[in-house]
Amino acid sequence: MSSKPLPTQSLLELIDLFEQSGQPIADGDGQRLHGVPGWDLSRKLSLSDHDLAAWTECVGYAGCYPAPCRDERILVDIEEDADPARYRYRCPETFRVKYISAEMAAVRAVIATKLLNYLADLMEIPQALRRGITTAAIEDVLWHLGTMRIGQVHVDTWLVRGLANSIDDVYRYFDQLSLPNTGVILTTGSAQPAIVRPPRNYRLIPLNSVLSPNSASPVVDTDLIHRLLLASPGGTIERSPVVRFDHFNSTLHITTRSIAPWTVTGPKQAAVVKYLVEQFENGRQRVSAGDILVAAHGSREAARGKRVPSIFSGNSQWLDYIEHDDAGYGIKLE
C-alpha cells in the first residue's frame, strides 16, 4: 500500500497525532473515543486540510471543550445544536450560550493501517515480510512493521505508541522466547530515560529521531539505526551527518536520500569520496576536477593528463552518488 509522499515536517506532525490518537476523550454519552479533537488539530502548521482528510478519520464528537475564560481555559460540556454544523456551550465567564463548529468538536484518529504501511514503505520492507502489519500485537499500542534490512542483516521492526502508559505490557510481550532476541522498537513518543533498559537485546528508538531532518521528503536514517544496534543498550548516539564516510568499511552514507550506502572499491576511488566528504564538511559542496585528481593520485604531477571518470572506469554506480556540473564535482544530496 503506497501513498503520496508527505513532506518530512508533515509526517512528523502525523506521527505526533498518531501518538495522541491513543489518548481517550469522552463523547457526549460518556463513551471513550481515541483520537485528537478538532481544536488541537487546528494547531498543526504543516498538515494541510487535504492531508488530514486523507490520513485521519472522524471517530466521533467530543463531549467537552476547553472554553476561554479570562487568561485560561476551562473544560465545559458541549452539546449538539439544532444547526448540525455547530455545537453549543455555556460560556464559563458570561454564562451566555456560545458556539463552536462541528469540525472543531470532531475527534479524528490517524488511520493506523495506512500510516503503518507508509512507514514500512519508507523502510523498504517488502510486502512479503510485513504480513502481520494489519493486526496489532497489543491492541492500539504495538504493531509489527516487518523485517527491515540494516547493513547486511534483516531486523524485526516494531512500532509502539503510548509506551509510557503501556511499558509493562510491551516489555512482557517482548519477553516471549518465541520472538527474536534482537530487534528495533520504534516509538511514536519521546525518548525513554537512559535508566529505562530495553527488553532483552532490543533497541527503543524514537521514530522522529531516525527521520533525516535534512531532507524535504521523508528519509529513514538506516545508518543511525545500524549504529544504535551496534552500541550498548541505552547508549546515546548522535544523528548521522548529511554525508558520512566510514573509513573502516570504505562506505559512503547520504542521509538526505533514500539510497543504500555505497561501499567504495579501490584506494583511488576511496580517496576521491573521502576528499569530497571532507570538503563538504568544510562548507564546499563543489570542488574542481584538478583538486580531486590530486587527492586520488597524490600529486599534481601524477594527476597530469588524468580524468575523474577514469578513476571509476567500469563502475557506473558512482554517478548515483557523485554529481558534476559547471561548478565542479560534489556529493549528490538530492
Confidence of residue 235 (pLDDT cuts 50, 70, 90): low
Up-side HSE of residue 278: CA atoms within 13 Å toward CB? 10
Residue 286 has pLDDT above 90, yes or no: yes
Instruction: Identify the weakest region by mean pLDDT among 22-31, 46-55, 71-80, 255-264.
Output: 255-264
Closest to 146 (Cα-Cα) out of 164, 135, 158, 137: 158
Mean pLDDT of 292-319: 90
pLDDT digits (tens, 9 = 90+) for 300-309: 999 899 999 9
Return phi, psi of residue 249, to 5°. -105, 5
Non-local CB neighbours of 178 within 8 Å, separated by 6+ positions: none
Confidence of residue 167 (pLDDT cuts 50, 70, 90): very high
Distance CA 125, CA 78 (A): 45
pLDDT digits (tens, 9 = 90+) for 34-85: 999 999 988 888 888 899 999 999 999 999 999 999 889 999 999 999 999 9
Confidence of residue 234 (pLDDT cuts 50, 70, 90): low
Please, are residues 86 and 78 in contact by the beta-carbon 8 Å criterion? no
Mean pLDDT of 19-33: 92
Q: Which amino acid is at 272?
A: V
How much is the pLDDT for 1?
A: 44
How much is the pLDDT for 3?
A: 57
Please state, for a pLDDT cut of 70, what percent of the chain lies above it.
98
How much is the pLDDT for 11?
A: 95
Can you read off the three cell numbers belonging to residue 295? 587527492
Longest Cα–Cα distance in the chain: 88
Q: Return the sign of the alpha-carbon dihedral for residues 295, 296, 302, 305.
A: negative
Confidence of residue 2 (pLDDT cuts 50, 70, 90): very low
Cβ of 197: how many Cβ atoms within 10 Å? 12
Q: pTM of the full predicted structure?
A: 0.80
The β-bridge partners of 142 are 138, 160
Give the E-state strand segments of 133-190 in sequence order.
Answer: 142-150, 153-160, 182-187
Mean pLDDT of 89-113: 95
Mean pLDDT of 19-48: 90
Closest to 112 (Cα-Cα) out of 135, 90, 89, 85: 135
Mean pLDDT of 86-111: 95
Instruction: Identify the weakest region by mean pLDDT among 1-5, 92-96, 301-305, 328-332.
Output: 1-5
pLDDT digits (tens, 9 = 90+) for 110-133: 999 999 999 999 999 999 999 889
